[in-house]
Amino acid sequence: MGVATYKGPFGKAQAERLLWRAGFGARAGEAEALAKLGLKRAVRALTRPAAYQLVGPDPRDERNRPIAPVDAIGHDHLSWLDRMVRTNAPLVERMTLVWHDWFATSNQGVGSQRLMLDQIELFRLNALGSFKDILLGVTKDPAMLVWLNGNQNVRRRPNENYARELMELFTLGANRGAYTETDVREQARALTGWRGNVANRQSTAFTFEPARFDATSKTIFGKTGNFNWQDACQLCLDHKLHPSFFVTKLWSYFVPTKLDAATAKSLQELYASRRVRPVVEAILMHPALYDGPRMVTPPVVFNAGLLRMRGRYVDTSTWWTLGRQAGQQLFYPPDVGGWDDTRWLDTATFRGRWFIAALAQADGGMPSDSPRDPAKLVERALGFWGSPTITSTTQGLLRAFAAAQLKRKESPANVETALRRLVASSPDLHAV
């Protein structure tokens, strides 16, 4: 029995939802084109993209200078936002964001934008590939070694920070009986041996030194051997509770409703090879994604989406401060647990999203021939964003707003620009 597939109509609205969940919203005309492919080909267009390309002008700051991702504060955020906006493979960037949250590493503890960008590149290269490659890669990744003290984990007195999160957050999950406190300590010993550090934003080489490695016997999950860091990862990947942890966590990035037992079982079968793509494809074709409730868009996805809808590119450094205000500064997740994807919206983050919507349309200029017709003004304001699907409730209130402002003798052009702001900050685009 395979995974259930969505059988309902796959039109513009469904394609828009797919693009928000698996990418960063739709460029003008993109949802319509995707809908024409039908569900299966549409999903595959995302999961099996053409050779990676960035389309459009390079990112600039507000004075038209190139950005400096490695050196300037916040430009790390800008450079990744730019990729989200310009990529021809949105799911690759979206999965990279998933891995950034999954293996949440913060530059707060690393202190090197270079190492952070290198880690993200590891995720990007393996975005839809093998989870084993990702796990082995991140375990010896310099930013991760600094972040969870793997570089200070030496024989005799191990530092168990990485060992615990490897099992709890990355592969097995807490409260499931998957591992014991003894397993944490034994894993920590298996993970000894790495060195390297960052000082004043400059990193040394990160190397494995046999002299720092605890080359004695360890017992992990009831198996005994002289395990090393690769074994530590493999033991987790082979653990019988890993596949269920993996598919449940991955599901939660795309669908807000709970994963049912039958689907979980089928997804685990698709994950037998430890490859990511088949599982993502099945989730993106699942009925729950299309028939189920809306999902609040992460702030950086919301931001990139508005720019894609507009056909605008990164041309100001303000985005990174707004990302922070909206609750998501890339490379600075709140802690190793990542962002809470179920709690993006509160009164504080709403304010950041309000500014993002304001700035995303700020370069649009004053319309010159705005009609004195509320319905037409609303239609034009929607057209400004590539005509996204909006509820009739919101449309009705936008028309009422336009009518009231026109009655107060407000200029139609001002009303139209206000409507642009209101479209972008409507509940319809915060949750899709």
Partner 1 sequence: MSCNDCDRSDRFRRAAAAGNGLPAIEPGMPTPAGTGMTRRAFLSRSAGLALAVYGGNGLGSLALDDGIAQAAATAPADQRVLVSIFMNGGIDALSLLFPAGDPQYYTLRPNIAIAQNLGRAFPEDDRLRWHPSADGLATLHAEGKVSVIQAIGYDNSDKSHFTARHYYEVGQTDAHLRTGWLGRYLDRVGAPDNPVQGLTLDTTLHPALATAKVPVATLQGADQYNFAPTPGVPAHRLEASMLQMAANIGAAHKKSTDPGLRLAGQTAYDAHRLYYQLGAFRYGFKSPVSYPSSTDPFPRRLAGLAAMIAGGMPVRVVGLSMGRFDTHAGQPAAFNRDLGLASGSLLAFQRDLEARGIADRVLVHVWSEFGRRGAENASNGTDHGAAGIGFLIGSRVKGEQIGSFPGVSGGLDGQGNVRPSADFRAVYSAVLEQWLDIDAGEVIPGVQAFSRPALLK
Site for partner 1 in 256-285 (CB under 8 A): 256
Out of 13, 315, 358, 373, point to the residue binding partner 1 (CB under 8 A). 358
Out of 31, 39, 78, 184, point to the residue binding partner 1 (CB under 8 A). 184
Out of 204, 207, 224, 393, point to the residue binding partner 1 (CB under 8 A). 393
Assess 330 for contact with partner 1 (CB under 8 A).
no
For residue 43, give the H/E element and its range: helix 30-47
**Part of the chain binding partner 1 (CB under 8 A), chosen from 86-94, 131-139, 203-211, 391-399:** 391-399
Query: Using CB atoms within 10 A of its CB, is residue 121 exposed (0-12), middle (13-18) or buried (19+)?
Result: exposed
Q: Nearest to residue 222, comparing CAs of 233, 212, 235? A: 235
**For partner 1, the closer CB: 209 or 340:** 340
Assess 13 for contact with partner 1 (CB under 8 A).
no
**For partner 1, the closer CB: 137 or 327:** 327
Assess 398 for contact with partner 1 (CB under 8 A).
yes
Out of 13, 278, 362, 373, point to the residue binding partner 1 (CB under 8 A). 362
CA triple 78-102-172, angle to 5 deg: 175
- The beta strand positions in 118-201, using DSSP E, are 194-195, 198-199
**For partner 1, the closer CB: 274 or 399:** 399
> Taking a C-beta distance cutoff of 8 angstroms, is the pair 129, 153 a contact?
no
What does the buried/exposed string (b/e) look like for 257-283 if buried means 16 or more CB atoms within 10 Å of the residue's CB?
Answer: eebeeebbebbbebbeebbbbbbbbbb
Assess 324 for contact with partner 1 (CB under 8 A).
yes
Could you tell me the two tokens for 397?
């209130």
**Part of the chain binding partner 1 (CB under 8 A), chosen from 25-33, 49-57, 163-171, 373-381:** 163-171
**Part of the chain binding partner 1 (CB under 8 A), chosen from 76-84, 89-97, 232-240, 290-298:** 290-298
Q: How far is the CB of 382 from partner 1 (least distance, A)?
A: 14
**Total of residues contacting partner 1 (CB under 8 A):** 75
Assess 369 for contact with partner 1 (CB under 8 A).
no
Out of 293, 365, 368, 369, point to the residue binding partner 1 (CB under 8 A). 293
Assess 322 for contact with partner 1 (CB under 8 A).
yes
Assess 122 for contact with partner 1 (CB under 8 A).
no
Out of 119, 187, 228, 425, point to the residue binding partner 1 (CB under 8 A). 425
SS3 201: coil
The length of the chain in residues reads 432
Could you tell me the two tokens for 263?
């689907």
Q: How far is the CB of 228 from partner 1 (least distance, A)?
A: 18
Assess 389 for contact with partner 1 (CB under 8 A).
no
Per-residue DSSP letter, 67: P
315's CB contacts (< 8 A; 6+ apart) are: 59, 60, 61, 62, 64, 363
**For partner 1, the closer CB: 334 or 371:** 334
Query: Using CB atoms within 10 A of its CB, is residue 157 exposed (0-12), middle (13-18) or buried (19+)?
Result: exposed
Q: What share of the chain is helix, strand, coil (3-state, %, to 5)?
A: 55, 5, 40
**Part of the chain binding partner 1 (CB under 8 A), chosen from 16-24, 111-119, 173-181, 239-247:** 173-181
**For partner 1, the closer CB: 277 or 305:** 305
**SS3 annotation, 214-275:** CCCCEEECCEEECCCHHHHHHHHHHCCCHHHHHHHHHHHCCCCCCCCHHHHHHHHHHCCCCE
Assess 63 for contact with partner 1 (CB under 8 A).
no
SS3 129: coil
Out of 7, 41, 294, 372, point to the residue binding partner 1 (CB under 8 A). 294
**Part of the chain binding partner 1 (CB under 8 A), chosen from 34-42, 43-51, 154-162, 217-225:** 154-162
- Residue labelled with tokens 């430009």: 75
Q: How far is the CB of 369 from partner 1 (least distance, A)?
A: 19
Out of 43, 110, 295, 304, point to the residue binding partner 1 (CB under 8 A). 295
Out of 264, 345, 379, 387, point to the residue binding partner 1 (CB under 8 A). 345
**For partner 1, the closer CB: 31 or 360:** 360
Residues 199-258 that bind partner 1 (CB under 8 A): 256
**For partner 1, the closer CB: 23 or 158:** 158
SS3 195: strand
Compute φ and ψ for 178, nearest 5 degrees: -80, -30
Could you tell me the two tokens for 110?
């690393």
**For partner 1, the closer CB: 244 or 426:** 426
Compute φ and ψ for 57, nearest 5 degrees: -70, 150
- Quote the CA–CA distance of 410 and 120 in Å, as a whole number: 48
